[in-house]
Amino acid sequence: MARFREVLKERNFFLLWLGQIISQFGDRLNQMVLIAIVYARTPGSPFELAKFFSFTIIPSFFVSPLAGAFIDRWDKKTTMIVCDILRGLVVLAVPLLFVEVSSAPSIPIYAAVFIIFAVSCFFLPARLAIIPDLVSKEKLLVANSLFTITGMIGAIFWFVIGGVLVEMVKVRNGLLLNALIYFCSAAAIVFITGHHRRAKKTAGPVSAANIEKIIKTSIVREITDGLKYLKHNREARFAFRVLFVMMAGAGAAYSVIIVFIQDSMGSITKDLGLLGMFLGAGFFLGSLIYGKTGHTLSKHKTIFGCFIAAGLSMLAFTMMLKWTQSFLAASVMAMILGIFLAPVGISTNTMIHEMVVEDMRGRIFSSLGIAMNVAFLIFMLCSSKLAETLDRSYILYAVSGFYVVAGILGFADLYFFKEKHINA
């Protein structure tokens, strides 16, 4: 804590950290408002919810690969301020243009969602990239740790507050508050000064003449190189399969479980936010536990074991919520689910760091990120469409079984084909 206090005494970093907390609240509130809008327009429709959320994911395919190249050429402080103001204006436009948001035409709402999350693709990497310009090199690790820890805690806390607030103030006022939060985040960042002192010279302004070059180097070449490396590196392929399985299951459950919780608990966002808090707390606890014990365990076995345990936890969560509507039981199972899912991502990322050469890691993570988003999006749309006609609990049971089977097959592969694996 003493080291955290020391880095927070750096005025510029403190303002960035404060802006992160405020902006994160805006992001979580935005998510809850979207859920409330869909509920008001089409109550109990997982597919409509999935369509809305798909517009939060699609920008990452087109914008994220370009964002890094542009951010390296722009002033990062200005980029963040403009992004927050743009997001605030887009959010503010919805309640100003449409008195009844729930009856507004779909296309403007979809467009607003797409623009907000496209702008976020520039804001998030700019925020991370400016940190080395605000603190000295010896404080960089502490600064990044503080960002990660408070980001995780903030995501849990604001998810709960956002869920309760939207239920209380309704959609229109929720949007007005959401816009105000983004403007407050921009105001905090405005007061950052002297951030150019440790900044490296950038590659200059982006002109129309070199946009084509940026696209080729940032998207085509890096993705192609990443896929080629995946083809010839066993551990990278393993990580690809693990993350694809994890995100496919998460996508299949995402919109369905939101509607399932709404129907079971009789609220729109309140209980959803509270259960999300317990899931996030489980992720945090699982990360701490695995961080202390993971070095003594096989990463392959940890991943497969966690898949099985997570599948069984989701099965218990679904059964308890369906048959008892007990918030206490559901919250306990949500926390246990988070505990078992956390080591999967940590193990996979660690394997990539250990086995993939340094100059390929960025391209591998870029390729994996695209694959994860594709898996999440496709399975979310497919499962939500099925949930329009099937009992939602059946979809969640299927996802539970999917994780359990994936873990069992992984152990079977380890047992019968041990020579294929590197004992990590």
Q: Among the ranges 153-167, 196-210, 378-392, which has the highest mean pLDDT value?
A: 378-392
**Poorest-pLDDT segment among 15-29, 51-65, 355-369, 398-412:** 355-369
236 in Cβ contact with 363 (< 8 Å): no
Read off the pLDDT of residues 6-60 as tens digits, 9 standing for 90 and up. Answer: 778 888 888 888 888 888 888 888 888 888 888 888 888 899 889 888 988 888 7
Asked if the model's pLDDT at residue 371 lies above 70, the reply is yes
**What is the pLDDT at residue 198?**
44
Superfamily of domain 1-195: MFS general substrate transporter like domains (1.20.1250.20)
Percent of the chain with pLDDT over 70: 80
Helices (H) and strands (E) in the chain, counts: 16, 0
Question: Quick one: which of 300, 420, 288 has its CA closest to 351?
Answer: 300
What mean pLDDT comes out for the span 383-390?
91
Superfamily of domain 223-424: MFS general substrate transporter like domains (1.20.1250.20)
Neighbours of 74 (CB within 10 A): 15
- The pair phi, psi for residue 3, each rounded to 5°, is -70, -35
Read off the pLDDT of residues 134-144 as tens digits, 9 standing for 90 and up. Answer: 877 777 767 77
335 in Cβ contact with 285 (< 8 Å): yes
DSSP secondary structure, 359-372, as one string? HHHHHHHHHHHHHH
268 in Cβ contact with 36 (< 8 Å): yes
Sign, Cα dihedral of 249, 252, 255, 256: negative
How big is the CA angle at 114 (ends 108 and 115), to the nearest 5 degrees?
90
What mean pLDDT comes out for the span 208-234?
60
Per-domain residue ranges of the chain:
1-195, 223-424
Sign, Cα dihedral of 16, 280, 163, 88: positive
Sign, Cα dihedral of 258, 264, 270, 273: negative
Place 365 in a pLDDT band, splitting at 50, 70 and 90. Answer: low
Asked if the model's pLDDT at residue 421 lies above 60, the reply is no
The residue count for the chain:
424
* Joined tokens for residue 181: 């939060």
Question: Quick one: which of 108, 106, 121, 126 has its CA closest to 57?
Answer: 121
Q: What does each C-alpha distance from 269 to 27, 94, 100, 113, 244 come to in angstroms?
A: 15, 20, 19, 19, 28
Asked if the model's pLDDT at residue 260 lies above 90, the reply is yes
